[in-house]
Amino acid sequence: MPVGQVIRSHSNIYYVLVDGREVECRPRGKFRLDRLQVRAGDEVEVTLAPDGEGRIEKVLPRRNCLERPPVANVDQCLVVFTLVEPEADYLFLDRVLVHVEQAGVEPLILLNKIDLVEEADVAAFVRLYGDLVGYRVLPISAAEGRGLDELRRHLAGKTSVLAGHSGVGKSRLVRALEPQRADVRIGDLSAKSRKGRHTTRHVELIPLTGGGLLADAPGFTYLEFQDIDKWTLRDCFREFARYQAECRYADCLHRKEPDCAVRDAVEAGAIPESRHRNYLMFLDEVEAMKRW
């Protein structure tokens, strides 16, 4: 039975990439009875009818699944971030990174709009999130095409999803990577709020010319920690792992416990103080939600 990958859906019709060909498919009725949601990125078994249409017979086990945006079997998440237009929101960036870490997806931070800031500011960001925290960081300018050749090498042969605030340039980046995709809308910043307008309304996996699939998903402004406990939250801050084995207590939450090696690393500048501060804010939020 042929196996394909769902690249988009509309009104219970799913478009599945099978052997390089896009096939319009409908799911079996049992999916509705079982309340099984087929998502972009799902690998599915299909039967093909003589007229060229297909039917989804089975959804294969997922390697991972993101909730925001809702997409499955992702190799990497491209977290698009800007220092200006819109202004840098590190609290939101760390919130997105926690969700990506929790899903077991590898992040790649794309620092976009570097044409609008000083090189020293770009270098400071790379040091903070690259050298100190340990993420891959790629400075780019979708407007000028800077860094896009290197980005294409990261995309080849992988399923990637874009994530980030509205207005950081996700749709413009898709247009820069795939100029023939004239159907991707580009939104302007609101003159009043300097925040982006939502231009993407659904998740779609776009086959890339250089190989791989890229999901352009709706922008969002807030993410809650509904399905995460305080221990998982702690482990989603990857820079803590280098030090927490040296904490006095194995269950140390790096808040007020004595002999906390993570807090010592923060004081020594080995862990960014801003990351630890945001972690403590998230920890309060998670504990507050668990009391209700």
Annotated binding site for GTP: 112-115
Binding-site members are: 112-115, 247, 252, 254, 260
- Tell me 61's DSSP state: P
* Phi-psi label, residue 212: left if phi above 0, alpha if psi -120 to 50, beta otherwise: left
CA 232 to each of CA 45, 80, 173, 175, 284: distance values in angstroms, whole numbers, following the listed order: 34, 24, 32, 36, 14
> 207, 7 in Cβ contact below 8 A?
yes
> 216, 200 in Cβ contact below 8 A?
yes
DSSP E strand boundaries for the chain: 3-10, 13-18, 21-27, 43-48, 54-59, 65-66, 71-72, 76-82, 106-112, 136-139, 159-163, 204-207, 213-216
> 107, 136 in Cβ contact below 8 A?
yes
Q: In whole angstroms, how large is the CA radius of gyration of the chain?
A: 21
Q: What DSSP assignment string belongs to 109-133?
A: EEEE-GGGS-HHHHHHHIIIIIIIS
Three-state DSSP state, 12: coil
101, amino acid identity:
E
* Greatest Cα pair distance in the chain: 70
Binding-site members for Zn(2+) are: 247, 252, 254, 260
Q: Please choose, from the candidates 263, 190, 237, the residue with its C-alpha nearest in 3D space to the C-alpha of residue 95.
A: 237
